[in-house]
Amino acid sequence: MKNRKILVVYNTCGLKKDNTEWYIDCVNSLLDQDFDDYRIVFSSCLNSPACFKKIYDTFGDKISYCYHSEPHTVNITFNKAVQECVKRFGEFESYLYVDSGCIFDNEKDVLSRLYESFKRDEDLKNGMISVQATTDEGLDQLGDPFIYESPEVQITGENYTIPVGRAINLHVSLYSNEILKKYGKILPDVFAAYCSESVLSFLAASIDSKWAVMADRQVKHLKSIDGATLCVPHHSPVYGNYWNNLLYGRNALDFINDEEARLSGFGYEEHQSVMNHAREAYRDGRAIYPDKLSSFIKKYLFLSKSELDYDKMKISFVA
């Protein structure tokens, strides 16, 4: 798969403000990686024409561009940018989500280390790998000895496998093409704001793999530089909480109360004990019933075409 080892999707949103010079610095840090066979796409949700023009004038055909002219959540815009790039270039081995607040600075080997881990580790070759960040990591959700955020790298030596049902915050994360092939999209897109991280260990399990955090590297992260989840309320106006806040009128209680889904290995927002998966559905951290699990994930976590037809989303794409 020549020139298609990693698609790097750098995500921005201009609903609150543009951070044009910061975006340029971040993209330059991505271009400055000591790694070959990757493509960068600048995924822009409603940034101003002036911002988008300056980005294009700066980088030209060194990168690709996907401009979303309607407000959508970052999960949806990420998925759409991936789909458009696959149409133009073919499938990639993996897809890297990069939050707009992340810059690689002098860490020039992040992509090479990520890809090496992705190909080397038997458990991770078809799964997910996240990179440590300086702020808003959420590593404390994994328990001692981790803290919420640290200017120092917390995981060293060996990659850390995230236990099933646990999660950290997403800032820089690599996803296998196996997820795209199974679901047609990568990130679950039913969530209006929060909670999507809470299901990712189950997403990895559904393709018989795991979710890990890469050791020995950390990227700089500025929290909510574009604003946090700006196009939708953070709490459901119907149910009055953050965890039952789904798009297109969906109700989280539909899967929370589905015992067959739980028994297949499905869980949700477990750190708040909203829905705990059946432990007996796993052996050594791997799903015993991955096909059943994936059927529930597809049903409950991904929007149907009748709800949101990605082919009809209003975008502009420049290869």
- pLDDT, one tens digit per residue, over 201-227 is 999 999 999 999 999 999 999 998 987
Angle subtended by helix axes 49-59 and 20-31, to nearest 10: 30
According to the model, what pLDDT value does residue 122 have? 67
CB 211 within 8 A of CB 204: yes
Q: How many other CB atoms are there within 10 angstroms of residue 154's CB atom?
A: 18
Q: What domain range is 187 assigned to?
A: 6-231+304-318
Find, among 189, 208, 186, 192, the residue nearest to 265 by Cα: 208
Specify if 185 maps to a domain: yes
Specify if 174 maps to a domain: yes
Residue pLDDT, tens place only, 250-284: 999 999 999 999 999 999 999 999 999 999 999 98
Specify if 254 maps to a domain: no
286 residue type, one letter: R
Specify if 262 maps to a domain: no
According to the model, what pLDDT value does residue 94 have? 97
Q: Determine the Cα–Cα distance for residues 1 and 101; give it in Å rounded to an integer.
A: 30
Q: What is the mean pLDDT of the chain?
A: 94
Q: How many other CB atoms are there within 10 angstroms of residue 62's CB atom?
A: 11
* Lookup: tokens for 225: 């530089």
Q: Determine the Cα–Cα distance for residues 209 and 122; give it in Å rounded to an integer.
A: 9
Q: Is the pLDDT of residue 15 over 70?
A: yes
Find, among 221, 228, 301, the residue nearest to 258 by Cα: 301
Specify if 30 maps to a domain: yes
Specify if 138 maps to a domain: yes
Task: Please enumerate in sequence order all residues whose Cβ is within 8 A of that of 57, keeping only pairs 6 or more positions apart, or say none.
Answer: none
Is beta strand 6-13 parallel, antiparallel or unpaired with respect to 94-98?
Answer: parallel
Residue pLDDT, tens place only, 89-132: 999 999 999 999 999 998 999 999 999 999 886 666 779 999 99
pLDDT-derived band of residue 198, with 50, 70 and 90 as boundaries? very high
* Global pTM value: 0.96
Q: What is the share, in percent, of the chain residues with pLDDT greater than 90?
A: 88
pLDDT-derived band of residue 228, with 50, 70 and 90 as boundaries? low
pLDDT-derived band of residue 237, with 50, 70 and 90 as boundaries? confident
Q: Determine the Cα–Cα distance for residues 88 and 92; give it in Å rounded to an integer.
A: 11
Q: Determine the Cα–Cα distance for residues 253 and 224; give it in Å rounded to an integer.
A: 29
Domain tally, the chain: 1
Please tell me what DSSP assigns to residue 104.
-
Please tell me what DSSP assigns to residue 26.
H
- CATH code (residue 91): 3.90.550.10
CB 10 within 8 A of CB 40: yes
Give residue 72's Cα distance to chain centre: 15
Specify if 17 maps to a domain: yes
Specify if 13 maps to a domain: yes
